[in-house]
Amino acid sequence: MPDGSGHMQPFLDQALAGAADVPGAKVKWLSDLRGRGAAIYGDRGLPGRRDEYWRYTNLNELGKNDYQLANGTAAVDVPPLPHRAVAELASYRIVFVNGRLRSDLCVLDDMPDGVLIAGLGDMIAAAPDRLQPVLGQNLDLHAMPLAALNTAFMRDGMVLFVDSGVSLDKPVHLVSIVVPGDTPMMLQPRHLVVLGDGAKATLIESHIGGSDVAYFNNLVSELSLGERAELNHYTFQEEGPAAVHISATALNLAAAASYGGFILQTGSSISRCETRAILSGPGADCRLDGIYLGTGSQVLDNTIYIEHVATGCRSRQVYKGVLDDKARGVFQGKIHVRPGAQQTDGYQLSRALLLSPRAEIDTRPELEIYADDVKCSHGATVGELDAEAMFYLMSRGIAADAARRILIEAFVGEALSEIRLSQVAEDFSAHVRNWLNTNITLAAAE
């Protein structure tokens, strides 16, 4: 339904239709926040090619299916978790099936004092006041129209609060499983992570979906780190092959806080992982790395916006992409240094490998700098596998497909070596190897 200016606003009617009887509809600040999301999304509509930050990722596909909000009540069988090492890892596990919390699958026993892990829906019902100071506070809805759409819904998701000075003893594992029915469904999960001053936590996210039925997972995570807080955040994006996965992460770092994020993307037909980080306190450290492996006609988008507001902050991104067949990769990274954010150290590297003559990569590393005492740089490379390295391996009796796998594994290995949690690193590597064994075969090498 295009409006006067030609914008499409699919799904808005679903949000508005349910607005009166969703949990928390009577809580004024919450319904105002939802209303604001609906208004902004209604105004902006679905981003199109004319939106500068969406020019490489076309969402027209979304208009073609009649996605209906998953009601989450149907009991479905849950597939086993694909990550062996992480699955065996002792962790607090919170599981969502089709966007709704499944308490029966969660493992949340013996939480230390000062730690709260709960479903957003339950929190809205039980203690909305605890959410009010933090929910929707770090999110620039105008910059992220789909996060505005998510805000218009806001029914369920994970809430993780870690009080000041508390270090979580085990990682938190957030599992999102989609088991679609016969018709295309839509999920609008909303996650909230707040770490008090000096708090420490590790968060692992797995997004899994197995079926060929189309679904649309539009998630938003708000992460807020107090002074000296530390968060390590690892994400597996393995949505189903017909899925559209749009993830928006808003990150706010207070003084001397430290964030380390890593995203491995292999799933979905269209995926965009967007992170907007604000380094608001002096000495904050933000690290975002990622690997994306694409084949078929996948579109894998990685968009990053780092805003240096305070002095002496450090940000670093290393992204590696491998694109086969007709896959298209997108890397957009922007470092924005505000006036006065002196002694900023910003670094960005994007490297992509094209394995097929039909693959494509679009890269845009961007710097916007308003302070002079800064050290900012970015690098980007695109190319194919080094012919000499291939020759070297093949002359030693290694078959072409194996040689390709070895070289690609080495190429992405640089990014993997940064991961601190060994179980996660192990699963990431296993996942990469599995992808290579499936996709880089002799037949594909021809």
Partner 1 sequence: MVANVDALEQVQSLGEQYKYGFVTDIDVDLAPKGLNEDIVRLISEKKGDPEWMLEWRLKAYRHWLTMEEPRWQKVAFAPIDFQDAYYYAAPKLSDKPKSLDEIDPKLLETYEKLGIPLKEQEVLAGVEGAPRVAVDAVFDSVSVATTYKAKLEEIGVIFCSISEAIKDHPELVRKYLGSVVPYADNFYATLNSAVFTDGSFVYIPKGVRCPMELSTYFRINQENTGQFERTLIIADEGAHVSYLEGCTAPMRDEHQLHAAVVELITLDDAEIKYSTVQNWYPGDAEGRGGIFNFVTKRGACRGRNSKISWTQVETGSAITWKYPSCILQGDNSVGEFYSVAITNNAQQADTGTKMIHIGKNTSSRIISKGISTGRADQTYRGLVRMQRGAHGARNYTQCDSLLIGDQCGAHTVPYIECQNPTAQVEHEATTSRIGDDQLFYCRQRGLSNEEAVSLIVNGFCREVLQTLPMEFAVEAQKLVGISLEGSVG
Contact status, residue 248 vs residue 221, Cβ threshold 8 Å = yes
By beta-carbon proximity to partner 1, the closer residue of 350 and 429 is 350
| Residue (211 or 311) nearer to partner 1, CB | 311
Q: Single out the residue of 32, 66, 212, 368 in contact with partner 1 (rule: CB under 8 A).
A: 368
By CB under 8 A, residue 369 contacts partner 1: yes
Select 354 or 436, whichever has its Cβ closest to partner 1.
354
Total residues interacting with partner 1, rule: CB under 8 A: 36
Min CB(319)–partner 1 separation in Å: 13
Q: Which residues pair with 288 in a beta bridge?
A: 261, 317
Using CB under 8 A, pick the residue from 84, 142, 375, 420 that binds partner 1: 375
For partner 1, the closer of residues 211 and 356 by Cβ is: 356
- Contact status: 298 vs partner 1 (CB under 8 A): no
- Give the shortest CB-386-to-partner 1 separation in angstroms: 10
Site for partner 1 in 376-395 (CB under 8 A): 376-384
Q: Which two tokens stand for residue 143?
A: 């910059």
Stretch that binds partner 1, among 93-101, 286-294, 368-376, 437-445 (CB under 8 A): 368-376
Please pick, from the candidates 97, 193, 213, 355, the single residue that binds partner 1 as defined by CB under 8 A: 355
CA 200 – CA 164 distance, rounded (Å): 9
Of 372, 397, 417, 446, the residue at the interface with partner 1 (CB under 8 A) is 372
Restricted to residues 28-57, the positions that interact with partner 1 (CB under 8 A) are 52
Which residue type does 3 have? D
Out of 163, 197, 345, 360, the residue judged to bind partner 1 by CB under 8 A: 360
Q: Which residues in 65-189 belong to E strands, given as ranges?
A: 68-69, 92-97, 100-101, 115-119, 158-162, 172-178, 185-187
The reply to whether 359 sits near partner 1 by the rule CB under 8 A is: yes
Q: Look at the chain and count its residues.
A: 446
When asked if residue 187 is in the footprint of partner 1 (CB under 8 A), the reply is: no
Give the footprint of partner 1 on this chain (CB under 8 A): 52, 339-340, 342, 352, 354-384
